[in-house]
């Protein structure tokens, strides 16, 4: 589909909503990082900045009513699946009305259909496979499980075991490898023996594998649209590699000594959020003023979430030992 | 007075476990059996005999040898609330291959999700020593897993408890490690033909006594009982407790007994260091310090990996002789 035809395939309001989601995620990460640096947030903190098109496209195409599973880089997915900036920011601040009552923190967000934010690299892949098993077991043929993992997780044993089981048992699971090229500070080519993480691997499991450009929202959208149609028909697992860039370090404490300032500057020039918004404006989908309004609204929403979190009560220590069993 | 006669059946422990699975599968369509060789092969220890034929491959699922994969898959399926998996581990030693899934996911997800998600799953299979299977197939896992808040640990010692406790475990709605023993599967017992449950978290007084309290679990209950019977002939009456559930620990039943007998002998098939006996001794000290007439004694597996040779295996495990020696020591000890 050409770009113009693609833009016409959805209403301007639909595209504006995607932009709003991307901006919400971006502002959330920026403000949360600020709060972290001010000492309001503790623990690990992994920003989704730069990778927004991937989960925005997947959730908008597949819909909320599926089982979602991701790694510790989980802020965006929780927002996309309906968690409010307030509850998520309160969780980061470790407060009682937080998304997980202040027990999970940055790496462990949940919604009705988000089974987690999982903290161990690759640990979430069998979980997603199990959600797909449950969907198939109950004959919920309009649903599937969607598992996000990083390029670093491809080297884990759970990746192999899960894909083997999913293919063997025809489980409707979409595995999305978000290849941001770095497993913490180790480049992917020093971690995985083949260059194409999905296309070179999928065949070994009798699955289909695709590569998608995650820096281009429209390419991402078209790619996942095709995959969604295919999964609906075939009810089989699919492995996808999305080429992306994380514009921030692995985590907030990452000094990024493994890549140069010039490299990072170049990445920022290719920020998919800028590219996407400019195409919408140039394509006549929305005006600069409309963009500014959405941007301001989402920024204010996140600022209010920070204010909410600052004032939210701390967890009551008398509830410390609840919910263990 | 009307006497109701309870219908009984004489079954092996493996059959009692099978009946629990069968009844729970009939009760709730979400219950599935999953594991290596559980279907076509009828179970490595024949616990799931006939289940594939009865329930079909939708609910009795043979897995490849991929513990991390299928245990994790079962935990994920349980998280959705759509499936209640009963995972058979051919040996609990294989649970180590899936340790991250059990520890990081099954144990922690309910708490970490703010109580939003539960993990209704039972992982069951033989634990501890069998007959000369050496170091990598003989470990008792209960001490390792009992250090993880979020897991309940159940260890039946006989067919009656195995059936009733397994049914309760499947209904519990939380992650449960159900530890059986390969050496006990063939042991027979009369159990009711009618359905019954045994509640989790309650120890059982196997033998009432006065001179000391002997506390143990799993296969060691039968070994300890032999020692208790020998002591009885010498006029020493030990009170024997079977923990049945290791976590949460039924400290109330334990304390009740210790306050009566004032002396404690702890027997554990697993290793001494950081073991279940070590934890119990601490809790008994906390709750019964002023009632103790002597320091407690524990008889555990010695601090070596399990050797193969019959002679060495017998020496490292708790046995009747070691328990009797421990009892003699205990009764000689003064405060």
Model confidence pLDDT, tens digit, residues B253-285: 999 999 999 999 999 999 999 999 999 999 999
- Work out whether strand A173-179 and strand A145-150 pair parallel, antiparallel, or are unpaired: parallel
* Spatial distance between the Cα atoms of B301 and B271, rounded to a whole number of angstroms: 5
B287 is catalytic: no
pTM: 0.96
Strands B84-88 and B238-242: unpaired
Q: In this complex, is the C-beta atom of B201 within 8 Å of any C-beta atom belonging to chain A?
A: no
Partners of residue A150 on adjacent β-strands: A178
Q: Give percent of chain A with pLDDT exceeding 90.
A: 90
Task: Please answer yes or no on whether A131 and B77 come within 8 Å at the CB atom.
Answer: yes
Helices (H), chain A: 3-8, 12-37, 52-62, 75-80, 85-92, 124-137, 157-168, 199-202, 217-234, 261-269, 272-282, 288-311
Is B82's CB within 8 Å of A135's CB? yes
Asked if B67 is an active-site residue, the reply is: yes
- A183 — contact with chain B (CB < 8 Å)? no
pLDDT category at A101 given cuts 50, 70, 90 is very high
Give the β-pairing of B8-12 and B188-192: antiparallel
Query: Which helix H or strand E contains A176, and what residues bound it?
Result: strand A173-179
pLDDT per position as a tens digit, A28-43: 999 999 999 999 999 9
For residue A239, what are the β-bridge partners? A175, A209
Token pair of B28 as six digits: 């709730």
Do A130 and B82 count as a contact with CB atoms less than 8 A apart?
A: no
Instruction: Give kind and range of the element (H or E) at residue B227.
Output: helix B220-233
Backbone angles phi, psi at A186, to 5 degrees: -100, 120
Q: Which tops the pLDDT comparison, A195 or A259? A: A195
Contacts of A102 in chain B (CB under 8 A): 114
**How many alpha carbons lie under 13 Å from residue B184 in its C-beta half-sphere?**
27
Nearest CA in chain A to B62: A169
Q: What is the secondary structure of B265-297 as a DSSP string?
A: EEEEEEESTT-HHHHHHHHHHHHHGGG-SS--E
Label residue B247 exposed, middle or buried (CB < 10 Å: 0-12, 13-18, 19+): buried
Per-residue pLDDT tens over the stretch A284-313: 999 999 999 999 999 999 999 999 999 999
Contact B101, A126 (CB under 8 A): yes
H-run or E-run covering B328: helix B320-332
CB contact under 8 A, B77 and A137: yes
Chain A residues inside the 8 Å CB shell of B113: 100, 103-104, 108, 110, 116
What's the Cα-to-Cα distance from A130 to each of A107, A136, A170, rounded to whole Å? 21, 10, 12
The reported pLDDT for the residue numbered A49 is 95
Catalytic residue (choose from B67, B174, B187, B268): B67
Q: How confident is the model at residue B5, as a pLDDT?
A: 77
Record: contact B149-A120, CB cut-off 8 A: no
Cβ-based contacts under 8 A for chains A and B:
137
Residues A100/A108, Cβ–Cβ less than 8 Å: yes
* Count of C-beta atoms within a 10 Å radius of residue B329: 14
A:87-126 residues touching chain B, CB 8 A cutoff: 98-104, 108, 110, 115-116, 118-120, 123, 125-126
Nearest to B73 among A119, A129, A323 (CB): A129
Paired residues of B265 in beta bridges: B214, B297
CB contact under 8 Å between A127 and B75, yes or no, is: yes
DSSP B61: E
Confirm if B334 and B294 have CB atoms less than 8 A apart.
yes
Q: Is the pLDDT of residue A79 over 60?
A: yes
A275 close contact with B: CB closer than 8 A: no
CB contact under 8 A, A104 and B32: no
How is residue A248 written in tokens? Answer: 């921030």
- Chain B contact for A322 (CB, 8 A cutoff): yes
CB atoms within 10 A of CB A241: 24
Q: Which residue from A115, A116, A164 is facing B69, i.e. has the nearest CB?
A: A164
pLDDT in the model for residue A22? 97
pLDDT of residue B2: 57
The answer to whether residue A149 scores a pLDDT higher than 70 is yes
The CA distance from A46 to the nearest CA of chain B, in Å, is: 18
- In this prediction, residue A250 carries a pLDDT of 86
A95-111 mean pLDDT: 97
CB B125 within 8 A of CB B257: no
CA distance B187 to chain A (A): 32
Query: Model confidence over B20-77: pLDDT tens digits?
Result: 999 999 999 999 999 999 999 999 999 999 999 999 999 999 999 999 999 999 999 9
A273-281: Cβ within 8 A, 24+ apart: A273/A22, A273/A23, A273/A26, A273/A52, A275/A215, A275/A216, A275/A217, A276/A18, A276/A19, A276/A22, A276/A53, A276/A217, A276/A218, A277/A19, A279/A3, A279/A217, A279/A218, A280/A7, A280/A15, A280/A16, A280/A19
Residue A44 is predicted with a pLDDT of: 94
CB nearest to A131's CB, from B66, B76, B152? B76
Looking at residue A252, its pLDDT comes to: 86
Determine the residue among B112, B151, B248 to mutate to test chain A binding: the one whose Cβ has the most chain A Cβ atoms within 10 Å: B112
CB of B79 less than 8 A from some CB of A: yes
Tell me, what's the pLDDT at A257?
87
Residue of B71, B83, B114 with shortest CB distance to A104: B114
pLDDT of residue A325: 85
Residue A263 pLDDT level (bands cut at 50, 70, 90): confident
Are B102 and B67 in contact by the 8 Å Cβ rule? The answer is no
Q: Name the closest residue on chain A to residue B108, using Cα atoms.
A: A324
Long-range pairs of B322-327 with CB within 8 A, sequence gap ≥ 24: B323/B214, B323/B223, B323/B224, B323/B227, B323/B265, B323/B267, B323/B299, B324/B227, B324/B230, B324/B231, B326/B265, B326/B267, B326/B297, B326/B298, B326/B299, B327/B212, B327/B214, B327/B227, B327/B231, B327/B236, B327/B238, B327/B265
Mean pLDDT of B128-155: 96
In the predicted model, is pLDDT for residue B115 greater than 90?
yes
Percentage of chain B beyond pLDDT 70 is 99
Residue A65 buriedness (CB in 10 A; 0-12 / 13-18 / 19+):
exposed
Q: Are B22 and B47 in contact (CB under 8 A)?
A: no
d(Cα A170, Cα A141) in Å, to the nearest integer?
Answer: 12
B237-256 pLDDT, tens digit each: 999 999 999 999 999 999 99
State pLDDT tens for residues B1-17: 555 678 999 999 999 99
Contact A139/B at CB under 8 A:
no
DSSP state, residue A186: E
Distance CA A80, CA A157 (A): 29
Instruction: Please pick, among B15, B88, B137, B279, the residue that the annotation labels catalytic.
Output: B137
Helix (H, G, I), strand (E, B) or coil at B204: strand
Instruction: Give the pLDDT mean for B159-170.
Output: 98
Averaged confidence pLDDT in chain B: 97
Report residue B283 as tokens. Answer: 């809790």
Confidence of residue B313 (pLDDT cuts 50, 70, 90): very high
**Whether the Cβ atoms of residue A198 and residue A239 lie closer than 8 Å to each other:** yes
Residue B3 confidence (pLDDT): 59
Beta strand spans in B127-247 (E): 152-154, 176-180, 188-192, 204-207, 212-216, 238-242, 245-247
Cis peptide, bond prior to residue B199, ω within 30 of zero: no
């Amino acid at each position: 589909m050409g770009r113009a035809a693609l833009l016409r395939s959805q209403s301007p309001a639909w595209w504006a909503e995607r932009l709003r989601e991307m901006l919400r995620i971006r502002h959330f990460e920026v403000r949360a990082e600020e709060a972290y640096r001010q000492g309001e947030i503790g623990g690990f903190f992994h920003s989704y900045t730069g990778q927004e098109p991937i989960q925005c496209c997947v959730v908008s195409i597949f819909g909320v009513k599926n089982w979602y599973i991701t790694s510790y880089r989980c802020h965006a997915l929780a927002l996309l699946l309906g968690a409010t900036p307030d509850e998520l920011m309160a969780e980061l601040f470790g407060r009682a009305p937080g998304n997980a009552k202040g027990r999970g923190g940055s790496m462990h967000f949940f919604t009705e259909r988000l089974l987690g934010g999982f903290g161990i690299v690759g640990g979430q892949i069998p979980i997603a496979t199990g959600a797909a098993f449950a969907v198939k077991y109950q004959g919920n043929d309009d649903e599937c499980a969607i598992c996000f993992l990083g390029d670093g997780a491809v080297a884990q044993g759970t990746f192999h075991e899960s894909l083997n089981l999913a293919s063997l048992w025809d489980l409707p699971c979409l595995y999305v490898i978000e290849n941001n090229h770095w497993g913490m500070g180790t480049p992917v080519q020093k971690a995985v023996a083949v260059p194409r993480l999905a296309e070179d691997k999928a065949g070994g499991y009798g699955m289909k594998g695709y590569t998608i450009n995650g820096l281009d929202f429209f390419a991402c959208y078209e790619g996942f649209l095709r995959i969604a149609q295919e999964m609906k028909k075939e009810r089989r697992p699919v492995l996808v590699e999305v080429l992306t860039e994380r514009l921030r370090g692995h985590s907030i404490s990452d000094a990024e000594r493994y890549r140069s300032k010039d490299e990072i500057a170049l990445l920022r020039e290719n920020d998919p959020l800028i590219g996407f918004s400019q195409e919408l404006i140039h394509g006549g989908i929305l005006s600069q003023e409309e963009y500014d309004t959405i941007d301001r609204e989402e920024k204010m929403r996140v600022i209010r979430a920070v204010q909410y979190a600052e004032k939210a009560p701390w967890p009551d220590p008398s509830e410390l030992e609840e919910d263990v069993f | 007075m009307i006497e109701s006669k309870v219908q009984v059946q004489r079954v092996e422990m493996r059959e009692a476990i099978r009946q629990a699975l069968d009844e729970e599968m009939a009760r709730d369509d979400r219950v599935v059996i999953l594991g290596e060789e559980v279907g076509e092969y009828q179970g490595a220890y024949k616990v799931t005999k006939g289940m594939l034929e009865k329930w079909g491959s939708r609910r009795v699922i043979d897995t490849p040898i991929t513990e991390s994969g299928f245990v994790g898959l079962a935990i994920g399926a349980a998280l959705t609330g759509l499936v209640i998996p009963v995972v058979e581990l051919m040996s609990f030693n294989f649970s180590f291959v899936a340790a991250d899934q059990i520890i990081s996911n099954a144990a922690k997800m309910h708490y970490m999700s703010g109580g939003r998600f539960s993990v209704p799953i039972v992982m069951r299979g033989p634990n501890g020593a069998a007959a000369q299977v050496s170091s990598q197939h003989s470990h008792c896992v209960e001490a390792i897993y009992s250090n993880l808040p979020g897991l309940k640990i159940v260890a039946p010692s006989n067919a009656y408890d195995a059936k009733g406790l397994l049914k309760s475990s499947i209904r519990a709605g939380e992650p449960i490690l159900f530890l059986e023993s390969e050496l006990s599967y063939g042991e027979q017992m009369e159990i009711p033909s009618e359905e019954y449950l045994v509640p989790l978290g309650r120890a059982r007084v196997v033998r009432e006594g006065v001179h000391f309290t002997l506390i143990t679990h799993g296969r060691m209950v039968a070994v300890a009982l032999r020692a208790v019977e020998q002591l009885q002939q010498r006029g020493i009456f030990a009170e024997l407790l079977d923990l049945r559930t290791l976590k949460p620990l039924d400290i109330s039943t334990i304390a009740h007994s210790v306050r009566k007998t004032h002396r404690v002998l702890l027997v554990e098939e697993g290793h001494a260091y950081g073991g279940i006996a070590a934890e119990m001794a601490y809790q008994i000290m906390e709750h019964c310090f002023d009632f103790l007439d002597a320091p407690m004694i524990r008889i555990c597996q010695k601090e070596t990996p399990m050797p193969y040779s019959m002679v060495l295996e017998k020496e490292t495990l708790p046995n009747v002789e070691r328990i009797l020696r421990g009892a003699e020591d205990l009764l000689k000890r003064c405060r």
